[in-house]
């Protein structure tokens, strides 16, 4: 489980991007962090990924403060797929996965290639292993970026706006694919796309102005937002 306790993050000028955030993400589930642009979603993602350090509060992974982990151990346990994907354009799909294993786990080239091929086959994208990122579609690139993260066998995987570059049809296909692989890891999806979130996640949180306005089943959150119901900030810890 990932637990966020009393988390506040401030910019250099003192402006609060997140205020007194309390929420937990149980393992074994797909969860969503929802909100409009500027709501604090990305800042929360960056804190979860240990790229930003909060001014106050704690983030615990399985009861342990994330900043107490060795860098390599932390990156093995929690993977991130950023909105820009960051696939290496001069490497093939297979080589992108191999490189992650070699550099993060120190695995030998032969073993890394074998595990990478197994992951691509398991996720149903082995046919593009020799293609370069420029030769595949946006939806395929998203799958490759997730495969590169999953090959490290993380316990948690963060996805940052995974549908931002996809059209409606590709988004539906991608959502169906994510539902099929949810048993691979515990996903936390950061998105403003409510329809997509409803298709892939069971529960989630809704942020606005850096505060948690709702913690509930994704479908219920969406109904409240669409109905224009006023949501009040909730700062109490999850029960």
pLDDT of amino acid 24? 93
Does some domain include residue 39?
A: yes
pLDDT of amino acid 103? 81
Does some domain include residue 111?
A: no
pLDDT of amino acid 239? 41
pLDDT of amino acid 139? 86
The per-residue pLDDT string of the chain (239 residues; one tens digit each, 9 = 90 and over) reads: 999 999 999 988 888 999 999 999 988 889 999 998 889 999 999 999 999 999 899 999 999 999 999 988 898 899 998 888 788 999 999 999 999 888 887 889 899 999 999 999 888 899 999 999 999 998 899 889 989 988 888 899 999 988 887 888 888 888 888 888 888 889 999 998 888 999 999 999 999 999 999 899 999 998 888 876 656 556 555 44
Cα 83 to Cα 1, 25, 142, 190: the distances in Å are 24, 21, 9, 10
pLDDT of amino acid 185? 87
Domain that holds residue 52: 2-88+159-226
How far is 113 from 151, CA to CA, in rounded Å?
Answer: 11
Does some domain include residue 236?
A: no
pLDDT of amino acid 28? 85
Does some domain include residue 130?
A: no
pLDDT of amino acid 97? 93
Does some domain include residue 151?
A: no
Does some domain include residue 153?
A: no
Q: Number of structural domains, the chain?
A: 1
CATH, residue 167: 3.40.50.300
CA dihedral 216, 213, 226, 201 (to 10 degrees): -40
């Amino acid at each position: 489980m990932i637990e966020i306790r009393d988390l506040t993050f401030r910019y250099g000028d003192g402006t609060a991007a997140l205020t007194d955030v309390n929420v937990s993400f149980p393992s074994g589930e797909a969860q969503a962090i929802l909100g409009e642009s500027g709501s604090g979603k990305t800042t929360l993602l960056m804190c979860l990924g240990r790229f930003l350090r909060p001014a106050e509060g704690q983030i615990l992974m399985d009861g342990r403060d994330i900043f107490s982990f060795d860098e390599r151990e932390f990156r093995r346990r929690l993977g991130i797929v950023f909105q820009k994907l960051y696939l290496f354009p001069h490497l093939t799909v297979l080589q992108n996965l191999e490189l992650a294993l070699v550099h993060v786990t120190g695995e030998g080239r032969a073993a890394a290639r074998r595990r990478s091929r197994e992951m691509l086959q398991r996720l149903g994208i082995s046919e593009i292993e020799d293609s370069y990122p420029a030769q595949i579609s946006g939806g395929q690139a998203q799958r490759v970026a997730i495969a590169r993260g999953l090959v490290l066998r993380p316990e948690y995987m963060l996805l940052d706006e995974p549908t931002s570059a996809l059209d409606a049809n590709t988004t539906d296909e991608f959502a169906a694919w994510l539902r099929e692989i949810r048993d691979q890891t515990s996903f936390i999806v950061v998105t403003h796309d409510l329809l997509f979130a409803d298709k892939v996640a069971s529960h989630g949180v809704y942020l606005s102005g850096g505060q948690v306005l709702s913690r509930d089943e994704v479908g219920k959150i969406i109904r409240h937002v669409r109905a224009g119901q006023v949501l009040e900030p909730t700062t109490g810890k999850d029960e």
